[in-house]
Amino acid sequence: MKTYAVAIIGAGMISKSHIAAINNLPNAKCVAITDIIHEKAQAAAQKVNCPCFTDAKEMLEKVPEIDVCILSLPTYIHSDYVSLCAEYGKATLCEKPLEMTVEKAERIRSVVQKTGIIYMTAQVVRFWTGYREIKEMMKNGEFGDIYMSYFSRCSEPQKWGNDWLFDPVTGGGAMYDMLVHDIDFMNYLYGPAESVYTVATKSDTNCYNNVFASLIYSGGAKGVAETSFTMKTGYPFTMTAKIMGSKATAEYIYSAGYDINQRNGAIAVLKLFRDGKTPEIINVEQYDAYTKQLAYFLDCVDRGVQPDIVTLDQSVEVIRTIDAIRRSADTNSIIRLR
């Protein structure tokens, strides 16, 4: 079994989950870490005993054995760094959202197509216990006809010196950073959305931080995705999925700590309700989704194939959908995507 040499670019909050995932896998080793803030790169690198850098290009030059780069960078520079990694022929796992604009998302697609690097957007919810069971149940027709779906992701403002996240151009607040998970998952269940209509409010930095987006899909499915960054002190990072079908209703609730890194002691329950039957608590497989995601990506690298659990075309479509959700909020009108 080959051991993959993995580099981290961006040693902020979510890099901790990626580094833990690398450490959990027998076929992965963290060989270099870059952050423009030297102290952050150094602190992370010391824990795994690898060299640190403040410039990604220098890292790629000096550590040629790198096989895979994980980009845990502010969203608005994802396309620049996918391009850089592609220039060096590195397989790249890039954090969500793919980018801030459709144009920059398209740029990533053309760079990946041109260079042929193995690429995946880290839409971790597709690997998340609870969500995976819902996807499977839907595939097996266990819900019958779907009347409505509801997805939600709410937390206190996610602040850790990451001002970029609360700027409409660089991070987009909850509408981009949080909603993208649920829009991606809804597209995974139903295919690309046909139209969207959004009710949303902005908070202090001009980002939409409270959002209800309603979506209609070509197969007739309808759903609502909610997000908020304005919950008050002590409200845990909470995600919810509800499927209302003619045969069954499912409800999944996952409640972590202040942020998604605080998963120790998280509450996760998936319940299934059917007419006339005792509600069932589904035993979901227990594993770390970030580890599952990386294991899958490395398996794709090993086989030399593009990932098909999350495809780049789907990631670009998610950014088109989020863009439409924002335009709907801006104009208070229905936006048609096709």
Ligand X SMILES: NC(=O)c1ccc[n+]([C@@H]2O[C@H](COP(=O)([O-])OP(=O)(O)OC[C@H]3O[C@@H](n4cnc5c(N)ncnc54)[C@H](O)[C@@H]3O)[C@@H](O)[C@H]2O)c1
Amino acid at 58: E
Instruction: Examine residue 36 and tell whether it contacts ligand X (CB under 6 A).
Output: yes
Closest listed residue to residue 221, CA positions, set 197, 200, 262, 191: 191
Rounded CA separation 302/70 (Å)? 16
Look-up: residue for tokens 């335009």? Answer: 327
Closest listed residue to residue 76, CA positions, set 183, 157, 162: 162
Tell me which stretch binds ligand X (CB under 6 A): 28-36, 145-153, 182-190, 246-254: 28-36
Instruction: Examine residue 256 and tell whether it contacts ligand X (CB under 6 A).
Output: no
Instruction: Examine residue 7 and tell whether it contacts ligand X (CB under 6 A).
Output: no
Q: Which of residues 92-121 bind ligand X (CB under 6 A)?
A: 95-96
Tell me which stretch binds ligand X (CB under 6 A): 11-19, 183-191, 247-255, 302-310: 11-19
End-to-end, the C-alpha distance of the chain in Å comes to: 45
CB of 272 to ligand X, least distance (A): 26
Residue closer to ligand X, measured from CB, 75 or 249: 75
CB of 147 to ligand X, least distance (A): 29
CB of 218 to ligand X, least distance (A): 28
Closest listed residue to residue 16, CA positions, set 210, 182, 262: 262
Contact 95, 204 (CB under 8 A): no
Residue closer to ligand X, measured from CB, 12 or 236: 12
Rounded CA separation 311/291 (Å)? 18
Residue closer to ligand X, measured from CB, 146 or 239: 239
Rounded CA separation 321/66 (Å)? 34
Closest listed residue to residue 248, CA positions, set 220, 268, 229, 271: 271
Q: Which of residues 67-96 bind ligand X (CB under 6 A)?
A: 72-75, 77, 95-96
Tell me which stretch binds ligand X (CB under 6 A): 36-44, 109-117, 186-194, 246-254: 36-44
Instruction: Examine residue 10 and tell whether it contacts ligand X (CB under 6 A).
Output: yes
Residue closer to ligand X, measured from CB, 59 or 272: 59
Q: What are phi and psi of 220, to 5 degrees?
A: 105, -10
Closest listed residue to residue 242, CA positions, set 124, 154, 126, 130: 130
CB of 273 to ligand X, least distance (A): 29
CB of 74 to ligand X, least distance (A): 5
Instruction: Examine residue 260 and tell whether it contacts ligand X (CB under 6 A).
Output: yes
Rounded CA separation 43/46 (Å)? 5
Residues that bind ligand X (CB under 6 A): 9-15, 34-37, 40, 56, 72-75, 77, 95-96, 122, 124, 160, 162, 177, 260
